[in-house]
Amino acid sequence: MTGEVYRVDWLPGTDVLHGTCHCGREHTAQDPVEMWEWMLSHPRGHEKENGT
């Protein structure tokens, strides 16, 4: 195990999933397959969008 935490939440009242990567980057999608593909293809060692 790498200790990296990926979180996917369902936004109640919608068909939207909200994912958060271990680095803090976020992504939304309606398709669960698209969400997990984004999570798992996200490169290791990447920075947060705000540069921290």
Q: What is the pLDDT of residue 50?
A: 41
Q: What is the pLDDT of residue 16?
A: 95
Show me where the domains of the chain are located: 1-51
CA dihedral 47, 36, 6, 8 (to 10 degrees): 120
Tokens at 45, concatenated: 């060692």
Tell me the β-bridge partners of 19.
8, 27
Burial of 29 (0-12, 13-18, 19+ CB in 10 A): middle
Element (H, E) at 34: helix 32-41
Per-position pLDDT tens, the chain of length 52? 566 778 899 999 999 999 888 778 888 999 999 888 888 877 654 544 444 3
pTM: 0.68
